[in-house]
Structure 1
Amino acid sequence: MPVRLDHQIVPLVYHGSSRVDALRNDIFALRLPDLINYSTGELRFNTRSELCTAFHISPDAEIMLTGVNQDTRIEPWWGLAEQRIAIIRALVELGIKLVTVPNFSLVLDHPRHDDMHAMKRIGLVFSEFLNSGMPCALHPNGRTEQDFERWRRFIASRDEVQVLAYEFTTGPARKARTTFHLEQLAKLADGAGRDLDIIIYGKPDVIPILRKSFRKVVYIETTSFMKSVKRQKATRENNAELGWTSAPTEIGEEIDPIFAHNLYERELYLKAKYYGGLEALSKAA
């Protein structure tokens, strides 16, 4: 199932609260668990219109789902058992562009066989999404070189793996471990025998390194939305770094203008610093 990623920066929307009108952008990311009622094993929304209304996003925007979340919010996905397939098919009906596999954790202070179980679940859930018609990014969580060697063989032997996903917010974000994870991801890309794309979540300073190995690096951007909800507006400092100033609104006033401004500035900053050169940022100032 071919997957085409047209955007480098995808803003994450956490919820539809504190707003009146729909946010507008070409694409948004939502969190997979936010769409599911784990008590009933069903989607919370029957139509795309209901989904877009709930999150106050433009109905004509593309929607990507991220499976990156805390264990307490992604473990229930596995607990849904056979209900997962019906949910995935419902997501297809909603026109979701792509989902990243839940990042089931590999934990340092657990028995090693727990890690094997987490890796197996990642592979199984990946296949469930694809077999149900949902484009999917594989999240190859690993702790050791042998973990990633297993993933290398898995990816190399399966042409359906076109996009990887990875988070740099917990273990991989630690300074002592970031280099290891970047090296292992580079080996996965090199060993695939074909071009791969990657979707990342967390610290953006890994983007230039990943761009050396992957055809496209897509960044899930989380700052613009939260700053806008908190009524903070991006300001340019020294023609390069971004600062944030208070931008209070009247009761009932939409935050669309603040969000549009913040997203524009964040995209410009991220693309200039991590995808291109700071010269572009200075020219836009």
Structure 2
Amino acid sequence: MSLCERDCKRCVLQLQCQGCSFCEMAFCARDCHRCFSLCPRRGASYALLHSIGGGELSLSKNNAKGLPLNIPVLPDHLTEPMDLGEIIGVHGGNFLTSNGENVARVYRKKGIQETLNLSNDPKAVLQFYIKDRTIEGLWDNRKELYKQLLEFSWAAVIAPNFSVYEDAPRMDHLYNIKRSSIVYNEMLEEGLPAVPDISWYNRIDLDQWIREIRKNHIKTIAFSFQTVSTQSKASNTWRHYLMGFAYLVSQLDDDVEIIIAGLVSPDRLQMLRTAGKSKNRISVLNQTAYIQSRRGILSEKPTESAGELTKNQILKRNIDFYTQEYETMNLGGSNYAKVEK
């Protein structure tokens, strides 16, 4: 008997739900009006999943991006004009309105360069590892948002990461994973340089992504460690994500480029490289350099005083530190020389 109290061997719905996750359905209070999840007890859940084509993935082809190994993410306006490189990262939570239905007015009026106070005019990588409220608004108003996104110069736009919670029913996973793939395909159709986000819960999900990436010759993907903390309490979560990443890259060709979100530590990135035994190029969305600079912390010497350095001077030092670390550990992989030419 499964957690949903059905017999999986006899249940005709298993083709859609793919079996239970470790959710709390068996302990459910059956208060469906207050519950956010999709589950077999709510008949409309199947209709909703069917309305987006079911849980099977289908992906369109994209191209290699040749992104730098270290992509500094700037969530806010700098206090003085700075040149932080030809490509920067933009946080979707600040780039969109809080309800997710439009690009924030300041960005549409001033553009990325003036809004962030950059002395150069870089291309940007837009990421949507953002709050559920904002991302749901993006989904509801996505066709209009695509038009607004085309007003900017992007190096890459990562498809939104709809939440795949461990304690949610399996149908909830399938619905959110499929929605991310739909937005990815639609962005490509609109002419945006879209990158699929590999959201997943189990090996079934990863196998679906692997099949589509290989079959359609997808050359750039994104993988998030956003929920993984540096604290010991998250060690099991870290191992779970590490094993998932290792399995994913072991099945991919070496020329697939990977954008990593939510993980900047050189030590842990080295563990990724070792565990996966991959030669894929890895680019890191790095907001830590900025956050530490606002706190007066030098990333290379976090326990020592930064002296009289300004926050912006610290930011530049932090970005240079991570860039050097990533180059030393060869995150460029087997494609480094080819991409950099």
CA contact (8 A) 1:234 1:245 kept: no
**Equivalents in 1 of 2:124, 2:258: separation in Å?**
17
Q: Offset at 1:192?
A: 4.2
For structure 1, list consecutive stretches of 5 or more residues without a partner in the other structure.
237-241, 277-285
CA offset digits 1:131-186 (Å, max 9, x no partner):
11111221111111222122222322222x22121222315973224344333334
CA contact (8 A) 1:11 1:29 kept: yes
2:320 match: 264
**Equivalents in 2 of 1:233, 1:136: separation in Å?**
33
In 2 relative to 1, CA 244–158 (structure 1 residues): closer, same or farther, beyond 3 Å?
farther
SS state of the match for residue 46, structure 1?
Answer: helix
> What amino acid maps onto 1:20 in structure 2?
E
Q: Offset at 1:52?
A: 1.6
**Equivalents in 2 of 1:33, 1:99: separation in Å?**
14
**Equivalents in 2 of 1:235, 1:172: separation in Å?**
20
**Equivalents in 1 of 2:245, 2:201: separation in Å?**
12
In 2 relative to 1, CA 272–244 (structure 1 residues): closer, same or farther, beyond 3 Å?
farther
Alignment counterpart, residue 224 of structure 1, candidates 277, 280, 289: 289
CA offset digits 1:242-267 (Å, max 9, x no partner):
54524567xxxx75433222221232
CA contact (8 A) 1:23 1:57 kept: yes
**Equivalents in 1 of 2:114, 2:325: separation in Å?**
30
CA contact (8 A) 1:207 1:274 kept: no
Q: Offset at 1:124?
A: 0.4
Q: Offset at 1:224?
A: 1.8
**Equivalents in 1 of 2:166, 2:208: separation in Å?**
18
CA contact (8 A) 1:234 1:243 kept: no
In 2 relative to 1, CA 177–33 (structure 1 residues): closer, same or farther, beyond 3 Å?
closer
Aligned-residue identity in percent: 20
Give matches, 1:236-251, under 5 Å: 236=301, 243-247=303-307
**Equivalents in 1 of 2:92, 2:169: separation in Å?**
28
TM-score, normalised relative to structure 1: 0.78
CA contact (8 A) 1:23 1:56 kept: no
In 2 relative to 1, CA 31–235 (structure 1 residues): closer, same or farther, beyond 3 Å?
closer
Which protein is richer in strand relative to its size? 1
CA contact (8 A) 2:146 2:187 kept: yes
In 2 relative to 1, CA 64–40 (structure 1 residues): closer, same or farther, beyond 3 Å?
closer
1:166 match: 223
Alignment counterpart, residue 21 of structure 1, candidates 53, 63, 81: 81
2:57 match: none
In 2 relative to 1, CA 46–177 (structure 1 residues): closer, same or farther, beyond 3 Å?
closer
SS state of the match for residue 139, structure 1?
Answer: coil
Looking at CA atoms only, which structure, 1 or 2, has the larger radius of gyration?
A: 2
**Equivalents in 1 of 2:298, 2:243: separation in Å?**
36
For structure 2, list consecutive stretches of 5 or more residues without a partner in the other structure.
1-61, 333-341
Moved more, 199-208 or 110-119: 199-208
Aligned length: 261
CA offset digits 1:83-109 (Å, max 9, x no partner):
x23322332331111011111111122
Q: Offset at 1:214?
A: 4.8
TM-score, normalised relative to structure 2: 0.67
Alignment counterpart, residue 72 of structure 2, candidates 7, 11, 16: 11
The two structures, once aligned, show a CA RMSD in angstroms of 2.9
2:212 match: 154
Q: Offset at 1:222?
A: 1.7
CA contact (8 A) 2:103 2:145 kept: yes
